[in-house]
Amino acid sequence: MASNRQHPGALVEMEGVSVNFPVKRAYPFSKRRWIQAVTDVSLQVSEGETIGIVGESGCGKTTLANAMIGMIRPTAGTVRFQGDDLYALKPKAFKDARRNMQMVFQDPFSSLNPRFTVYDIIREPMYIRGGVSEAEMKAKVLELLKLVGLDEEDLHRYPSDFSGGQRQRIGIARAIVLNPRFLVCDEPVSGLDVSVHAQILNLLMEIQQNLGLTYVFISHNLAVVKNVCQKVLVMYLGKVMEEGTSDALFANPLHPYTKALLSAVLDIDTHEAHDKILLKGDTPSPIDPPQGCRFWQRCPFAMQGCETIPPALVDIERDHRIACHLVSGFSSEHQASGLDKPIAQ
Amino acid sequence: MSRQNVILQIARRGGSLFSLGKKLWQHPKGRVGLILVGLLVLVAVLAPVLAPYDPYDVTQRAEKGLRPSLQHPLGTSITTGQDILSMLIYGSRVSLMIGVSTGIAIAFLGALMGVMAGYVGGVVDNLIMRVVDVLLVIPTLPLIIVLTNLLGRSYFVIVLVFVAFGWTGLARVIRSLVLVLKNSNYVKAAELAGASRWYIMTKHILPGTSHLIIMNTTLTCAGIMVAEAGLSFLGLGDPTAISWGKMLAEAQGGGALLFGAWWWILAPGVGIFLAVFSFMRIGIVMEEVFNPRMKASSSIYKLFKHLNNDYLDEVFQSMEDEANAEPAEQPNGSNPPMAEGAHD
Amino acid sequence: MIDTMLEVRNLKVAFPAPGGVIRAVEGFDLDTAKGECVALVGESGCGKSVTALSIMKLLRTPPSVSRVDKLQLDGRDLTHVTERDMEHIRGKDMAMIFQDAMTALNPVMTVGKQIDEIYRRHTHLGKKEARRRTVRALDLVGVPEPASRANSFPHELSGGMRQRVLIALAFACMPKLIIADEPTTSLDVTIQAQVLDVLQSMQRDHDVSALLITHDLSVVSNMADTVYVMYSGKIVERGAVRELFTKPAHPYTHGLLASVPRLSDEKQAFVQIPDTVPHPMRKPSGCYFHPRCFRSSDRCSQRMPRLETLSSGRQVRCWHPLRQEREI
């Protein structure tokens, strides 16, 4: 599959990004093992878009997000921001570029320094950057407080005085104070009460519209992603299983993993219990992952060849790619060797 | 650290120390500790004013071995006729000075090493931790004996050795905490905004450890005071100074047990006990103050002792559904009112 | 007459605290039939976990104070039973599955030994026989290679496996009632589906009554027969699960259901319930939900509504419940 090098209008681009972490050796001279957190992921995010990265724990989504915002240098591949190779920038340009990217974290209880007042927390990025007077900072903080739905009197309170949802609002205010162009939301509502999810999600959408932001939205909940994102990437154990525009993908989800994720979502509108797709076994460890398709051990439709041959990401229709032997089929030689036979249960 | 930063840090800590002091005062056990420490400091500072006699006065041959009386509330020593009360008062100076100065020096050194090891990591971390390992192995008592032989007996040697070897405990504990704090999301957020490592160390990491430092220092002071008393008892301290430990040594050597001069032993013993007790009390209460959950559990028990059963009954009564005549609005509009509800 | 397994009448739990009293549970009633799965739904702070603990009589006084008119398990009155007798009941007749397996399991004992313990405590089995049963229990909950896995320590197992061990622990003596407190909240979505499947088959196959406590509506929809919705210490709605989900009567239930993101939606804003759950020490006057309710009136701010019966098995606590003909 040929990848386009330049996407005019793409704010962030990742090409063949892999991130590997070394595992501490049991004893010196033993074989070095690697955690393949992210393997060969490519994506493009255009200005104003929201791209969703879906997956469960261990799939590499947080590592991917960290690589995108300059926190982790990829072991292979390039990350481009506004056309520039992010990790090749000089330190000053790197810092400037990174100010355009910010993150909203998952856990509202640990993402705010408990000893800082709300004012300190939100103004901190401005303070670090410098060049803004105290009066200007205060004005901006007040403006943002109102934007996220908090009061002026909350300025001098501490995070422990607030609920999870309110803390998340503070975190969001902090994330947008430097007027970033690009925001990574790492499971922003997973740690919150159900009735607050909608509030925070609506706030994020409102801010995106008003400020023209680009979002990378990480979640394991496909229903939320469907409502919020234009593009979706489904990841498993560091690799992309299925990707495309959300319209195309949700109209026709084909990868067994995507289907399993979908079946786990509550669909109140159908009155009968829908078919649950139950996967086998547990998420394997990302240390030295399987050679072939990384999903094969849990896949209910696994075939012989899935164990050894990694599936390539192929187009199956416009704006919809999938990496699965079940869908793309095996080549004729492979079929001849019987690799397309299902694995005995 | 630049001088400005050091001063800034002390000032910052001062601010939070004040609110800490307030909280300690409100806690009943903490109040006791604070009062005792306050008294101790007062006694040490005002020693010349408070002591009725000159403690160094060894000329009062006639006053030797006197039992406690109005003139000498704690009696006099058997060997030299020194007034024990005055010696007790002056002895507090040594204990307090050594305890507190060593404690503070350890706090600085231990915190610095701990934060550097934890935050900078890598080679620095390894280096510092190996130094800690080595220092922990070396026995301090024989070292002090050797050094005092070489350099002469003085408290300077003792403080030096305590500080040089005592920072290790704090450094280890701080390092563990720093390792956790380093990975906090708010540190990440600051890094995203372009914060330098120095900024993060001073604004986020160090304040995050301040609780631990203060608590540890208080308990360290208590420990040092006991250790100093022991060393003075062994005769390793400054022979010209008056210290409680030395008083105990003199008492033993002067035959206090033999002659039944219990006041000579009791006075310095009680002095040591009170000094250490007050610091430890503050340290323990501080842990409760810093850890709200601990505080809650201890105060809840007290709350229960004074619980008013009538009040509770009222609360439970208010939880009952009201027995009211009007039914709820009918979901199906025109139907007549239903029978009474499910339970009463 | 349906066999009633668990009956709770008028459970109240309060936590005295400096500055007031935390009103955790305010008059809770529950009926669970034999083999039925009842779900207790609510958000954090609504009192559901406290309810579970009080049914198991695991709440200590201090820090809590509780009153209950009636607590009956399979006909046996537990209201005034001694702690000693409770120790025999817990694990054997009544068992609990906790949320976090890492803290519920003893980290220094192998999982096999922990399950063995249950057998040896409540039945008088020898070591070998207990281990045989343990392996069988692990097999039943879907742990692969149960004989060798029994010798693993909790930290050597994955989250899903640990949760299965908790299920095995709870079902070991085939209790009459299982209380599951957020059994899958900390797990990944696909693992959650697996674990729930196990839980459901264990419950159904062995005709065990279950009290499922959760905030996750999808779990409820899959597993429960009856749902109790709890808000700020009070039951606000009760009904059969399908009916409640399609025709909620209480505005809170309606809000919860409406705010769940749907797959079939066109892209639109999420329906939200304004504000947050009230602080358990500073509850609003009248109906606790009224400040957030789109149907509230003056009466709602003045008086707490009673729990009224709408039809068989259906109750709601609201002055203006939603009309029942309209589907959501």
Compute the distance between CA of residue C199 and CA of residue C168 in angstroms, rounded to an integer.
Answer: 9
Using left for φ > 0, alpha for ψ between -120 and 50, and beta otherwise, residue C266 falls in beta
Residue C247 pLDDT exceeds 60:
yes
C-alpha to C-alpha distance for C73 and C88, rounded to whole angstroms: 13
CA distance C280 to C238: 22
- pLDDT band for position A183 (cuts 50, 70, 90): very high
Tokens of A269: 């509108």
Cβ contact, residue pair C190, A264, below 8 Å: yes
Judged by CB atoms closer than 8 Å, whether chains meet at C249 and B331 is answered as yes
Find chain C residues with C-beta within 8 A of A198's C-beta.
259, 261, 270-273
Sign of CA dihedral C164, C170, C176, C181: negative
Instruction: Select the more confidently predicted residue: C142 or B325.
Output: C142
Q: Do C216 and A194 lie within an 8 Å CB cutoff?
A: yes
Residues B253-278 have pLDDT tens digits of 888 888 888 888 888 889 899 999 99
A 81-100 residues with CB < 8 A to C: none
What pLDDT was estimated at residue B333? 39
More confident residue, C326 or C253: C253
What is the three-class DSSP state of A38? strand
Name chain C's partners: 3 or more CB pairs within 8 A: A, B
Q: For the whole model, what pTM was predicted?
A: 0.81
By DSSP bridging, strand A231-236 and strand A50-54 are parallel
Query: Where do the domains of chain A lie, and which CATH numbers do they carry?
Result: 10-23+31-100+180-336 (3.40.50.300), 114-177 (no CATH)
Q: How far apart are CA C185 and CA C99, in angstroms?
A: 7
Neighbour tally for A217: CB within 10 Å: 26
Helix (H, G, I), strand (E, B) or coil at B44: helix
Searching chain A, which residue's CA lies closest to the CA of residue C46?
A193
What is the structure's pLDDT at C185?
80
Give A 255-284 residues with CB within 8 A of chain C: 260-269, 271, 273, 276-279, 281-283
Strand A76-81, strand A10-22: pairing: antiparallel
For A124, which of B188, B193, B208 is closest by C-beta distance? B193
Which residue has tokens 């209460």? B285
Where b means 16+ CB within 10 Å and e means fewer, A19-42 reads bbbeeeeeeeeeeeeebbbbbbbb
Find the residue in B nearest to C235 (Cα).
B321
B203-257 pLDDT tens trace: 899 888 888 898 899 999 998 999 888 888 888 888 888 888 888 888 888 888 8
What ipTM was estimated for this complex?
0.82
**Three-class DSSP category at B276:** helix
Encode pLDDT of B71-98 as tens digits: 777 778 777 778 888 888 888 888 888 9
Q: In whole angstroms, how large is the CA radius of gyration of chain A?
A: 22
- Please determine, for residue A171, whether its predicted confidence score (pLDDT) is greater than 90: yes
Question: Which residue does chain C place closest to B319, by CA atoms?
Answer: C26
pLDDT over threshold 80, residue B299: no
Residues of C with CB under 8 A from a CB of A: 43-44, 144, 158, 160-161, 188-194, 197, 215-218, 221-222, 242, 245-246, 255-257, 259-265, 267-274, 276-277, 328
Sequence letter at residue C166: L
User: Residue C141 pLDDT > 80, yes or no?
Assistant: yes
State the pLDDT at residue B297.
61
Q: Best mutation site among C306, C307, C322, C323 for testing chain B: the one with the most B CBs within 10 Å?
A: C306
Using the predicted structure, report yes or no on whether residue A207 has a pLDDT greater than 80.
yes
Rounded Cα distance between B272 and B63, Å, is 25
State how far the Cα of A98 lies from the Cα of A72, in Å rounded to an integer: 12
Give how far C83 is from chain B: nearest CA, Å: 21
The pLDDT of residue B114 is above 90 = yes
State the best of C188, C252, C265, C268 to mutate against chain A, taking most chain A CBs within 10 Å.
C188
DSSP structure class, residue C36? -
Neighbouring-strand partners of residue B36: none
C74: pLDDT strictly greater than 80: yes
Q: Do A267 and C191 touch (CB under 8 A)?
A: no
**A194 closest CA partner among C64, C214, C60, B56:** C214
Beta strands in chain B (DSSP E): none
Cβ contact, residue pair C189, A227, below 8 Å: no
Decide if pLDDT at B330 tops 50: no
The mean of the pLDDT values for chain A is 85
pLDDT tier at B325 (50, 70, 90 boundaries)? very low
- pLDDT for residue B324: 47
The rounded mean pLDDT for chain C is 87
DSSP assignment of B215-266 equals HHHHHHHHHHHHHHHHHHHHT-S-TTS--HHHHHHHHHHTTHHHHT-HHHHH
Query: For residue B344, is pLDDT > 50?
Result: no
Please state, as a whole number, how many other Cβ atoms lie within 10 Å of the Cβ of residue B107: 21
Name residues whose C-beta falls within 8 Å of residue A135's C-beta, 6 or more positions apart in sequence: none
The yes-or-no verdict on residue A6 having pLDDT over 70 is no
Q: Which chain B residues touch A125 with a CB distance below 8 Å?
A: 189-190, 192-194
3-state secondary structure of C285: coil
Hey, how many other C-beta atoms are within 10 angstroms of the C-beta on A143?
11
pLDDT at C308 over 50: yes
How far, in Å, CA of A278 to CA of A300, rounded?
Answer: 8
Q: What is the predicted pLDDT for the residue at B44?
A: 87
Beta bridge partners, A63, equal none
Contact C62 B321 (CB under 8 A): no
Q: What is the pLDDT of residue B151?
A: 84
Q: Which residue of C has its CA nearest to B331?
A: C323
* Nearest C-alpha in A relative to C279: A163
What's the confidence (pLDDT) of residue B337? 36
Rg (CA), chain B: 29
A99 contacts on B by Cβ (under 8 Å): 192-194
In percent, the amount of chain A with pLDDT more than 70 equals 93
Give me the pLDDT at residue A184, please: 93
Q: Which chains touch B (3 or more CB pairs under 8 A)?
A: A, C
> Residues C276-289: pLDDT tens digits?
788 888 888 889 99
The confidence score (pLDDT) of residue C209 equals: 92
Tell me the three state secondary structure of residue C278: coil
- The token pair that represents B123 in the structure block: 């080679």
Confidence of residue B331 (pLDDT cuts 50, 70, 90): very low
Asked if A302 and A330 count as a contact pair (C-beta separation under 8 A), the reply is: no
Query: Left if phi > 0, otherwise alpha if psi is -120 to 50, otherwise beta: which for B272?
Result: alpha
Residue B80 DSSP class: T
Decide if B37 contacts B218 (C-beta within 8 A).
Answer: no
Q: Quickly state the pLDDT bin for A308 (edges 50, 70, 90).
A: confident
- Tokens found for residue B166: 């005592």
Confidence of residue A177 (pLDDT cuts 50, 70, 90): very high
User: Rounded CA gap, A231 and A217, in Å?
Assistant: 10
- Which is more confidently placed, A2 or A13? A13
Partner B contacted by A121 (CB < 8 A): yes
Does residue A174 belong to the interface with chain B, where contact is any CB pair within 8 Å? yes
Give how far Cα B140 sits from Cα of B96, B297, C162, C250, Å: 21, 40, 48, 72
Asked if pLDDT for residue C224 goes beyond 60, the answer is: yes
Minimum Cα–Cα distance from A121: chain B residue: B186
Mean pLDDT calculated for residue range C52-80: 88
Two tokens at C184?
């899958």
Does the pLDDT value for residue B302 go beyond 80? no
First to last CA, chain B: 70
Residue B332 is predicted with a pLDDT of 43
* pLDDT single digits (tens) B117-167: 999 888 999 999 999 999 989 988 888 888 888 887 778 888 888 899 989
Q: Which of C228, C24, C199, C5 is nearest to C97 (CA)?
A: C199
Region A4-32 average pLDDT: 76
Q: Which residues pair with A35 in a beta bridge?
A: A21, A287
Q: Are strands C70-73 and C4-17 parallel, antiparallel or unpaired?
A: antiparallel
Residues of A in contact with B207 (CB under 8 A): 115
Whether C237 has a pLDDT exceeding 50, the answer reads: yes
CA distance C202 to C192: 15
Measure CB to CB from residue A124 to each of B184, B185, B190 and give the nearest one.
Answer: B190
DSSP sequence for A183-242: EEEESTTTTS-HHHHHHHHHHHHHHHHHHT-EEEEEES-HHHHHHH-SEEEEEETTEEEE
Nearest to B194 among A98, A112, A121 (CB): A98
CB contact under 8 A, A283 and C191: yes
Given this model, what pLDDT does residue B17 score?
66
A-chain residue closest to B292, CA distance:
A160
Relative to beta strand C314-316, strand A320-322 is unpaired
What distance, in Å, lies between the first and last C-alpha atoms of chain A? 34
pLDDT of B335 > 50? The answer is: no
User: What is the amino acid identity at position B174?
Assistant: I
Round the average pLDDT of chain B to a whole number and report it: 80
- pLDDT at position C239: 93
Mean pLDDT of A309-326: 87
Non-local (6+) Cβ contacts of B70 within 8 A are: none
pLDDT tens per residue across span C191-203:
888 888 888 888 8
Distance, in angstroms, between A56 CA and closest chain C CA? 6
3-state SS assignment for residue C210: strand
3-state secondary structure of A338: coil
DSSP annotation string for A58-123: TSSHHHHHHHHTTSS--SEEEEEETTEEGGGS-HHHHHHHHHTEEEE-S-TTTSS-TTS-HHHHHH
pLDDT in the model for residue B326: 47
Confidence of residue A217 (pLDDT cuts 50, 70, 90): very high
| Beta-sheet strand order (sheet of A34-46) | A34-46, A10-22, A76-81, A84-85
The CB density around residue B22, as the number of other CB atoms within 10 Å, is 10
Chain B nearest C-alpha distance from A110 (Å): 6
Ranking A89-93, B255-259, B297-301, C160-164 by mean pLDDT, the lowest is B297-301
Among the listed residues B16, B153, C241, C159, the one whose alpha carbon sits nearest the alpha carbon of residue A281: C159
Which domains occur in chain B, in start order? 3-319 (1.10.3720)
Whether residue A333 is predicted with pLDDT greater than 90 in this model: the reply is no
Q: How confident is the model at residue A5 (pLDDT cuts 50, 70, 90)?
A: very low
Buried b (16+ CB within 10 A) or exposed e, A245-266: bbebbbeebbbbbbbbbbbbbb
**pLDDT score at B296:** 58
% of chain A at pLDDT higher than 90: 26
Top mean pLDDT of A112-121, A192-201, B2-11 is at A112-121
- Report the pLDDT averaged over residues A106-135: 89
Whether C259 sits inside 8 A of A163 (CB atoms) is no
DSSP B169: H
By mean pLDDT, which of A276-285, B289-298, C35-44 is the weakest?
B289-298
Q: Is C269–A224 a contact, with Cβ atoms under 8 angstroms apart?
A: no
Q: What is the DSSP letter of C277?
A: P
Can you give the length of chain C in residues?
Answer: 328
B13 Cβ contact partners less than 8 Å away, ≥ 6 residues apart = B210, B214
Over residues A133-141, mean pLDDT: 91
Q: Which two tokens stand for residue C321?
A: 């419940």
The reported pLDDT for the residue numbered B16 is: 63
Token pair listed for A300: 């209910």
